Amino acid sequence: MTQLRHDDGSDGAAGDGSPAGNADDPGALRLVPIGLVRTSMATKVEAPRQPAAASAETARIELLPNRNFEHALEDLAGWDYLWVIYWFHLNEGWRPKVLPPRSTTGRKGVFATRSPHRPNPLGLSAVRLERIEGLTLHVRGADMVDGTPVLDLKPYVPYTDAHPDARSGWLEDAARAAQAGTPPDPLGAWQVHLEPLAAAQADWVRQRTGLPLRERVEATLALGPQPNPYRRIKREGEAFRLAIRDWRMRFAVDGRELRVLEVRSGYRAARLATAEDPGIDAHREFINRWPSQAP
Ligand SMILES: C[S@@+](CC[C@H](N)C(=O)[O-])C[C@H]1O[C@@H](n2cnc3c(N)ncnc32)[C@H](O)[C@@H]1O
């Protein structure tokens, strides 16, 4: 059994040379978080599906104090990317077969995917290291939700970690299907274009709320337009609707190009009138500015 201890690790943790075992249960492995991820994504649906889809997102990894981690961080600043190993703390249970968002050929064995629903819920993300300040690492490209416990950090070492010509398993089925003109290809052949209205609205949302909406839309739609609960895409008449946090984007499919037509608030009119949710003022201002986008 794998256990995650949520304490400051002061007994038998970091740097004391004790084995990562547990005397009561010889099969158990004891893991103690070294810190937490701090991002603006509070829930699983808000988090990007992989670091590459989050390259515009800034995040912090805050290491715990009083654990000698200042010394452990020495010499790390010279690396551009880090591997972050973490715990999918919001998931319970796991599934042997899962349906990945990119699959065009059905369910896949979980070990052949990067699904968060695993027997040991360990996450692995290569994030861009921007700078280190004390015990805080400023990074880009984090696909973890706020509060995710971090278990380890390692430098991303291109000469040994990067294998650009490696095969991609079932992801290649999707690419072949697209070439044959059969089901829609989620593998990046899609061009995403924001119409002037949508571009102005996305830029406004970024300025007003800090959410890099344009980058999130481009990264999500680059996988294709097909309705998908993971990517929160639905059909809406002739067009489609993509949800990113509490914003909705209407887009149209034009050959291999996806045209994002407009941004709308995800709030219903009644809630918009009365709710006191954090962040709702930005939606009210948005609708004052673009009244035709009122729900
Ligand atoms: C597809 S997984 C990939 C994660 C990592 N890059 C990997 O390959 O191990 C990314 C998704 O995990 C979910 N997620 C992120 N942090 C989580 C957490 N702390 N607990 C549960 N699910 C989480 C979010 O829904 C996010 O979109």
Helix (H, G, I), strand (E, B) or coil at 196: helix
**5 within some domain:** no
Closest CA to 40 of 144, 152, 129: 144
Amino acid (1-letter code) at residue 282: A
Half-sphere exposure of 64 (CA within 13 A, CB side): 19
33-42, 121-130, 247-256, range with greatest mean pLDDT: 121-130
DSSP state of 276: -
**Pocket lining: 123 vs ligand 1, CB cutoff 6 Å:** yes
CA gap 124, 153 in Å, rounded: 10
User: Which atom of ligand 1 approaches the CA of 88 most closely?
Assistant: 20
- Ligand 1 binding pocket includes 232 (Cβ within 6 Å): no
Cα(49) to centroid of ligand 1, in Å? 7
User: What is the H or E stretch that residue 201 is in?
Assistant: helix 196-209
Would 11 be classed as within a structural domain? no
Cα–Cα distances in angstroms (integers) from residue 239 to residues 178, 215, 234, 248, 283, in the given order: 21, 21, 9, 13, 23
- Residue nearest atom 13 of ligand 1, based on CA coordinates: 44
Residue keyed to tokens 């948005």: 286
Does residue 256 form part of some domain? yes
Comparing 102 with 284, the larger pLDDT belongs to: 284
**Structure confidence at residue 96 (pLDDT):** 94
CATH of residue 250: 3.30.2310.20
pLDDT > 90? residue 3: no
Q: Count up the domains in the chain and report the number.
A: 2
Residue 25 within any structural domain of the chain: no
State whether the beta carbon of 176 lies less than 6 angstroms from ligand 1.
no
41 in contact with ligand 1, CB cutoff 6 A: no
Q: Do 141 and 209 have their domain in common?
A: no
pLDDT at 178: 56
Q: Facing residues of 77 across strands?
A: none
φ and ψ at 251, to 5 degrees? -140, 155
| CATH code of the domain containing 96 | 2.40.30.70
Q: Mean pLDDT: which of 9-18, 94-103, 110-119, 212-221 is highest?
A: 110-119
Asked whether residue 223 falls in the same domain as residue 107, the answer is: no
pLDDT of residue 81: 95
Residue 92: predicted pLDDT: 82
Nearest to residue 279, comparing CAs of 269, 267, 289? 267
Tell me if 113 CB under 6 Å of ligand 1.
Answer: no
Residues contacting residue 17 through CB under 8 Å, at least 6 positions apart: none
123 C-alpha vs ligand 1 centroid, how far in Å? 7
Q: Which of 266, 261, 262, 251 is nearest to 220 (CA)?
A: 251
Supply the DSSP symbol for 130.
Answer: E
Same domain, 107 and 222: no
Residues 155 and 273 in one domain: no
Domain contains 198: yes
Cα angle: 65, vertex 87, 29; to 5 degrees = 85
In terms of domains, do 206 and 148 share one? Answer: no
For the stretch 134-172, pLDDT in tens is 999 999 989 899 999 999 999 999 989 988 778 888 887
Q: Are 226 and 106 part of one and the same domain?
A: no
| Cβ of 100 below 6 Å from ligand 1 | no
pLDDT of residue 251: 95
- Look at residue 13 and tell me whether its pLDDT is greater than 60: no
Is the pLDDT confidence value at 42 over 80?
no
Nearest C-alpha to atom 8 of ligand 1 is from which residue?
A: 114
Say which amino acid occupies 157: V
Could you tell me the residue range of the domain that residue 65 belongs to? 33-161
Among 73-77, 129-133, 159-163, whose mean pLDDT is lowest? Answer: 159-163
Q: How far is the CA of 90 from the centre of ligand 1 (A)?
A: 9
Atom of ligand 1 nearest to the CA of 45: 25
